Amino acid sequence: MAAASVASPVPHLPTSASTSITPASNTSTSTSTSTSSATSDMAAATSKSSWIALGCEGSANKLGIGLIRHTTTSTTILSNLRHTFISPPGTGFLPKDTALHHRTEFVALARRAIAEAGITPADVDCICFTQGPGMGAPLTSVAIGARTLALLWDKPLVGVNHCVGHIEMGRDVTGADNPVVLYVSGGNSQVIAYAEKRYRIFGETLDIAVGNCLDRFARVLNISNDPAPGYNIEQLAKKGTKLLDLPYVVKGMDCSFSGILASAEALAAQLLQLGPEGAGFTTEDLCFSLQETIFAMLVEITERAMAHVGSSEVLIVGGVGCNERLQDMIASMAKERGGSVFAMDERFCIDNGIMIAHAGLLAYRTGFRTSLEESVCTQRFRTDDVYVEWRD
């Protein structure tokens, strides 16, 4: 997942917590293209052919800031930086600590993003930020940062739905035209398809998100949160062989993970108490069984949505979408249906600022603005609340 994670303890964070900066790769590829930013923003609005947006993301434990350039035909990533708040094993990230992390890192990360993109604040057309869904305190911290930049540089604000950010970035990076989207992360699990100007949710979790299920399971077994609990479960699962019986809960195109988590936690407790010999299975087996069961459920609801809307393309987005086992399972299913899967690596799957900049800029170009008064965040922001003006 995180290809290069540099541990850099921040003094005023909880003592054992560490953070990691993930410099996203393909940066500064087109910094030489010096656009004529001298022209007035308003006057040239109609004849404009190049736009730059800055995106701020912080709905969970990742703070991401990215800059993107759109021309009428292409998109270029100018910079894409991420700083992750990692809590010690056995704990999750709490809103308060995460918000503190975001507040602490915001200015430095924004400066670096601008520097790496090789532009000046004057070149930026709009400031995009995550308006929801996510954890309240971290969202608010980042929104304050975004508002500050907007006022400082006198730029319009664009509030972005986090899920729509994932989808639009996925479509752009993979070139998928009209796929069924499986959006799986620590906070969301949805199967989405586009219809009549909205991303419609066909199926989703009825309780906790799939990533949340994995994260909380990792806590019981004290699996490390660095770089991500899901990544470490994936590595353990590769060595597992025995399939344990876990509940399999699919209701139509929806599914539920809380019962599986409870079962897995009970088995984990048994394992901790009796040891692998006494319990008859290992940590690896348990990780393997959990992955096999929940991913089978995800593949099933995705397949149902594909059959329902008559599509054969799937796009996987969200942090859990990095999991190669899940990607393989979906790919195998899509292949059998005569279709294909579009998946991405950690740069775009895991929360990042660039996706917010991208989706925000798409909306900005259709004339969408978020006034300062409206720039409030919400923990619950449905994917289908967004009117998708920029698609046919």
Partner 1 sequence: MCREFSSRNIIIPLLNPKISSPAENGTQSSPQMADCLVTCASIVFFVLHIGLFLRLTAAPVAGGRRSPTNGTGNPSLSTPLQRVISVILSGIVPKTKFLSSALPPKSPTMAATASEAVVHEFPLPAILTNPASTPPTLITQGAEGRLYKTTYLLPSIPCALKYRPPKPWRHPILDQRLTRHRILSEARILSKCRRDGLRVPDVYALDESAGWLMLEWVQGTPVRVNINQRLGNRTEGIEDDEELKDLMRRIGAAVGKMHSIGIIHGDLTTSNMMLNPPAGQTETDNVSGLEGEIVIIDLGLASGGVHDEDRAVDLYVLERAFGSTHPRAECVFGEVLDAYKKSFKQAGVALKKLEEVRMRGRKRSMLG
**What does the binding site for partner 1 look like in residue numbers (CB under 8 A)?**
193, 195-196, 198, 200-202, 204-207, 243, 248, 250-254, 292-293, 296, 299-300, 303-304, 306-308, 328-330, 332-333, 336-338, 376, 378-382, 385
The pairing of strands 75-86 and 126-132 is unpaired
**Shortest approach of partner 1 to residue 224 CB, angstroms?**
26
Token representation of residue 346:
């950690």
| SS3 at position 21 | strand
- Looking at the Cβ atoms of 147 and 200, the one nearer to partner 1 is 200
- Looking at the Cβ atoms of 41 and 207, the one nearer to partner 1 is 207
- Looking at the Cβ atoms of 66 and 240, the one nearer to partner 1 is 240
Is residue 325 within 8 A of residue 237, CB to CB? The reply is yes
Token representation of residue 283:
């940590």
Calculate the alpha carbon distances from 145 to 21, 48, 58, 62, 377 in Å.
Answer: 19, 27, 10, 15, 13
* DSSP track, 358-369: HHHHHHHHTT--
Which residues are annotated as part of the binding site? 162, 166, 183-187, 215, 230, 234, 323, 351
Q: Please tell me the distance from the alpha carbon of residue 208 to that of residue 258, in angstroms, as a whole number.
A: 6
**Shortest approach of partner 1 to residue 332 CB, angstroms?**
4
**Shortest approach of partner 1 to residue 195 CB, angstroms?**
7
Which residues are annotated as part of the binding site for a divalent metal cation? 162, 166, 183, 351
In the DSSP assignment, the letter for residue 179 is: -
* DSSP track, 83-141: EEEEPPTT----HHHHHHHHHHHHHHHHHHHHHHHT--GGG--EEEEEEESS-HHHHHH
**Shortest approach of partner 1 to residue 219 CB, angstroms?**
21
How far out from the chain centre does Cα 54 lie? 17
- Looking at the Cβ atoms of 48 and 382, the one nearer to partner 1 is 382
**Shortest approach of partner 1 to residue 94 CB, angstroms?**
20
**Shortest approach of partner 1 to residue 80 CB, angstroms?**
29
- Looking at the Cβ atoms of 248 and 390, the one nearer to partner 1 is 248
- Looking at the Cβ atoms of 146 and 341, the one nearer to partner 1 is 341
